[in-house]
Homo-oligomer: A and B are copies of this chain.
Amino acid sequence: MKVLQERIRQDGLILSDTVLKVDSFLNHQVDTQLALEIGQEFARIFAGRPVTKVLTIEASGIQFAMAAGIALGVPFLYAKKKKAVTLSEQVYSAPVHSFTRQETYQVSLSQKYLGPGDKVIIVDDFLATGAALLGLVDIVEQAGAELVGVGCVIEKSFQEGRGLLEQRGVRVHSLARISSMSPGEINFIEDEPSVSRIKEKV
C-alpha cells in the first residue's frame, strides 16, 4: 500500500534495526482517514471471499479491525488480554508471549461471538514474532470458525511471524512489508505474490 509506505518513511521513527515507532499516525495518535483507507485495502484484498467477522486483539488492533469492519459491513471482535470481571461466561483462550514486555498473558474471547459458520479475518497493527496472531488463530480454531486470512498493517519481514503463520496454513497479507531497517533507512518488499493471486481470483 503505497500511501502507507510513504507515510512510514515520512513519519515513522526507526529506533534500531528492530524497533519502528509509528505512534504519531497509527497506534497512539491515529490518522482516522488513513485508518479508513487501511480498512478499505483489507476489504479489497479479501474481496470476493465471504467474511462474517473481523477479529483483533486489544488495544492497537482495534482501529484497524473497526476500519475493516466498516469497509466490509460486518461487526468486529476484540479479544481481551486479561479476563474481564464482567466476562463471566465461557471463553476461548490462548497464551501469548510478548517479547516486547517479556511476559506471557492470556488472550480470551467470549464463546458467544464466534462459532462454526463464521468466516473470519484477523487484523492487527504489527506482524513481527507472530505471537499475538498465533493466539488469535488458536481461538478461531477453538471456535470451529473458518479463517479466511490474516491482514497486518506493518510486517517486519525479517522476523519469524509470517513463516510461523504460513506453516499453519494461514494466508498472510501485510500492507507494508519491511525487509530491513536501521536508523535513517527502511526497505520494503514491494511485491506481494499472495495478494496478486487473490486479486486474480476476484
The chain A residues found within 8 Å of chain B, CB to CB, are: 15, 19, 21, 23-25, 28-33, 35-36, 53, 58-59, 62-63, 66-67, 69-70, 73-78, 80, 84-88, 100-101, 109-110, 112-113
Task: Tell me, rounded to whole Å, the shortest Cβ–Cβ distance linking A168 to chain B.
Answer: 25
Number of copies: 2
A23 and B86 contact, CB distance less than 8 A = yes
A101 and B85 contact, CB distance less than 8 A = yes
B80 and A28 contact, CB distance less than 8 A = yes
User: Who on chain B is nearest to A60 by CB?
Assistant: B58
Chain A to chain B contacts (Cβ below 8 Å), 12 pairs? A15-B86, A15-B88, A19-B86, A25-B75, A29-B53, A30-B76, A31-B75, A32-B74, A32-B75, A59-B78, A84-B100, A86-B100
B70 and A30 contact, CB distance less than 8 A = no
Residues of B within 8 A of A73 (CB): 32-33
A66 and B69 contact, CB distance less than 8 A = no
Sorted from nearest, which 3 A-B pairs have the closest CB atoms? A58-B59, A32-B69, A59-B59
A107 CA to B74 CA, complexed, in Å: 31
A69 CA to B25 CA, complexed, in Å: 13
A36 CA to B66 CA, complexed, in Å: 10
Residues of B within 8 A of A19 (CB): 86
